[in-house]
Structure 1
């Protein structure tokens, strides 16, 4: 089992397979992708080595992230290879959803269990303004298709003061008959969004208080779940999640590690630097990689220190998938 010096166990790997994204959301890539021609990303065979090493150390949940992972044409092959490993019990993908409607059947056939989709506004014009694309109708159809296939769906909403903070009631009405988890995520400060953060950041605590006042009840999290505090209501098919990284003891329940698309281990989303594992991965030596992971985990810190304004090497969230 992967453990750190603070007694935390790591069941969950967020595996970036590209840093390329076709959206230009203000809080992430306001000027669009600036990385030039994509290259050097982990191959499907290298991903198999990564999965084997993490699985041997107790990881049983893997989420594919980006950038936008569906921009890779070999995503079905990658999902199949991960699904073939007997110790991986859950495969998820975080996506902007633009190709969900046309691709989700294939992903399901390959073994995908869940999708996390970013929708920061249910208003088509506002969605277009945020992302640079008028894709909301097809994304909503894709969600319906995913649910019909038995794929679990979570929708991520980054809280922003002037964009969606006043739209809670509309979101709650949307999930009343829709069996998804809607997660409100506090805007996080990164290396290149200081002005936006100062203008738009809003705490999730008032939303939590309102939910509790309105009869929403806390939902007990699974050990492999993410950091969201989840709530359910007897009159709603959907659930609400709150991810509040600036809250006290947020990092105490950390259970995930991150690997970049080029093979760098990030012990935290806001770590000072990635730890390069590419040579060991390229060699295909699962045992050597597992040993290296155990050694490096001793350097994991107790907190991300976001509350002190520390953003580490994370210039924007597309770098390693949030």
Structure 2
């Protein structure tokens, strides 16, 4: 089977799979009132369904997989999910995005299961500010887990920080001190409008390109983008061990390098984080004999992928908040 490609020539070796919509944090930009389960919602995909899903995507050239949530560590069988994912044919990079709340306790267990890359959400290096943003005073423990991952030799350790105007957008000096000796990739993410955060977005949105200008003026240099990389524009500086990435979804041509698809915790294929529809794959995950039908279904839907999102027009699709689709 040929690698998955859309009508604009973009290829998709990268899948982001949500394994649970729930999250145990209350981040101001995502779930300020905490997660509230829908009692009528379907249960997340089972291990067997996940295994079949990944076999289908592997047939279409997927080799990079990121496990997301909600918060994936809320799922009680996460270690088995990771082991199942690591065993999928063709997967060479198994990453996970987490808030790090269980990182210091479960890191080695997850690495033994096959996890080789991790992104940890750390929106501030100031303990009080971190608690205000997330609703939890857990910064010290989370940063300890990050240092453990570095010490354990994990192939890729990255941090994610959502830029919030008047909250954490003045912390670049502290971050530079942190990156001087740590071989970490820091991702500054521009706040995105979702279905339920319009007032917050208008109040706190700051263009990530302003930060890029500061970096360039300070001698940071833009790096070439890897074929299976995420959406960040990555910068390096000779004086720092760490690197800085900028994810600016409102920038020109942001979607031209899109290389990833998403599947929700209940098995809906999302061609775009801010798309207008989901494509239910779960009915095709009930038996091994359905693999060809699954591959055909995924390949047949890729033509519906738009050239770009419509965030500039204020259209956020069916994404109420980032936890619902995995960000």
TM-score (norm 1): 0.98
- For residue 296 of structure 1, what is the aligned residue in structure 2? 301
CA distance in 2: counterparts of 1:51 and 1:191, whole angstroms: 29
1:178 aligns to 2:182 (yes or no): yes
Aligned pair count reads: 322
- For residue 253 of structure 1, what is the aligned residue in structure 2? 257
CA distance in 2: counterparts of 1:203 and 1:173, whole angstroms: 23
Residue deviations 1:86-114 (CA, integer Å, cap 9, x gap): 41100000000000000010011111011
1:224 aligns to 2:228 (yes or no): yes
Equivalences for residues 57-206 of structure 1 within 5 A:
57-151=60-154, 152-206=156-210
Unaligned runs of 5+ in 1: none
Runs of at least 4 residues of structure 1 off by over 6 A? none
The residue matched to 1:22 in structure 2 has which SS? coil
Q: 2:312 aligns with which of 284, 291, 307?
A: 307
CA distance in 1: counterparts of 2:291 and 2:16, whole angstroms: 18
TM-score (norm 2): 0.97
Residue deviations 1:176-227 (CA, integer Å, cap 9, x gap): 1111011100000001000010010001112111111111111122100001
CA distance in 2: counterparts of 1:262 and 1:127, whole angstroms: 31
Residue 108 of structure 1 contacts residue 149 of structure 1 at CA under 8 Å; is this kept in 2?
no
Backbone CA RMSD of aligned residues: 1.0
State the Cα distance separating 1:279 from its structure 2 match: 0.4
Equivalences for residues 211-290 of structure 1 within 5 A:
211-284=215-288, 285-290=290-295
Residue deviations 1:39-88 (CA, integer Å, cap 9, x gap): 51000111000110001100000000000001112111111122123411
The residue matched to 1:240 in structure 2 has which SS? strand
- For residue 7 of structure 2, what is the aligned residue in structure 1? 5
CA distance in 1: counterparts of 2:151 and 2:13, whole angstroms: 28
